[in-house]
Amino acid sequence: MSRSKQGVDGAFGLVVQQHRTTLGFSQEELAERSGLHRTYISQIERGLKSPSLRTIASLAKALGVPLTVLIEETSNRMS
44 by Cβ neighbours in 10 Å (0-12 / 13-18 / 19+) ranks as: buried
| CATH no., domain 7-72 | 1.10.260.40
CA 23 to CA 8: how far, in whole Å?
A: 23
Task: Give residue-wise pLDDT tens across range 14-29.
Answer: 999 999 999 999 999 9
Average confidence (pLDDT) over 9-18? 97
Give pLDDT, residue 4.
45
pTM value is 0.91
Q: Give the domain ranges of the chain.
A: 7-72
Task: Give residue-wise pLDDT tens across range 21-54.
Answer: 999 999 999 999 999 999 999 999 999 999 999 9
CA 44 to CA 11: how far, in whole Å?
A: 10
